[in-house]
Chain A
Amino acid sequence: MELDHLKETWRNQDSILAPDTNEEQLLAMLTRQSRSPLEKMKRNLLMELIFILTGFGTVAAYYFISFGGKFNEVSWVYIMMVILFSFYYYRKNKLLNEMQCAGCHVKSNLQRQISMLEKYVKNYLVLGTLLIPVILLFLWFLFYVKLPAGSPGSVWHKILTYPWWQSLLIWLGGSIAFTVPVYFLNKWYVHWLYGKHIRRLRRILNEMGDE
Chain B
Amino acid sequence: MCALYASTAADREDLFQEIVIQLWKAFPKFRGDAKFSTWLYRVALNTAISDLRKQNRTVELSFPEFIPREMTDINESSEKEEQLRQMYAAISRLSEIDRAVVMLYLEDKSYEEMEEILGVNQNNLRVKMNRIKEKLRQLTKTEVYGT
Residues of chain A touching chain B, judged by Cβ–Cβ distance below 8 Å, are 1-3, 5-7, 9-11, 13, 16-17, 19, 21, 26, 29-30, 32, 34-37, 100-110, 113, 197, 200-201, 204, 207-210
Provide the residues of chain B in CB contact with A7, threshold 8 Å: 106, 108
In the complex formed, the residue of B with least CB distance to A7 is B106
Give bound CA distance, A198 to B100, whole Å: 20
How many residue-residue contacts, CB under 8 A, span A and B? 138
5 contacting pairs across A/B (C-beta < 8 A): A7-B106, A11-B108, A103-B39, A106-B42, A200-B55
For A9, give its contact among B25, B30, B50, B76 (CB under 8 Å). B76
Cβ B47 vs Cβ A36 within 8 A: yes
Q: How far is the CB of B85 from chain A (nearest CB, A)?
A: 10
Provide the residues of chain B in CB contact with A11, threshold 8 Å: 106-108
If A29-B17, A35-B53 touch, whether A13 touches B108 (CB-CB below 8 Å) is no
Give bound CA distance, A16 to B70, whole Å: 7
Cβ A105 vs Cβ B12 within 8 A: no
Q: How far is the CB of A22 from chain B (nearest CB, A)?
A: 13
CB interface residues, B 120-147, toward A, < 8 Å: 120-121, 124, 128, 132-133, 136-137, 140
Residues of chain B touching chain A, judged by Cβ–Cβ distance below 8 Å, are 2-3, 12-14, 16-18, 20-26, 29-30, 39, 42-43, 45-47, 49-53, 55, 68, 70-71, 73-74, 76, 80, 83-84, 86-87, 90, 95-98, 100, 102, 105-108, 116-121, 124, 128, 132-133, 136-137, 140
Cβ B51 vs Cβ A37 within 8 A: yes
In the complex formed, the residue of A with least CB distance to B75 is A16
Cβ B12 vs Cβ A19 within 8 A: yes
In the complex formed, the residue of A with least CB distance to B90 is A1
Cβ A13 vs Cβ B136 within 8 A: no
Provide the residues of chain A in CB contact with B116, threshold 8 Å: 105
Q: How far is the CB of A199 from chain B (nearest CB, A)?
A: 11
Cβ A106 vs Cβ B117 within 8 A: yes
Cβ B52 vs Cβ A197 within 8 A: yes
Cβ B97 vs Cβ A26 within 8 A: no
For B50, give its contact among A3, A10, A113, A208 (CB under 8 Å). A113
Give bound CA distance, A207 to B86, whole Å: 24
Cβ A30 vs Cβ B119 within 8 A: no
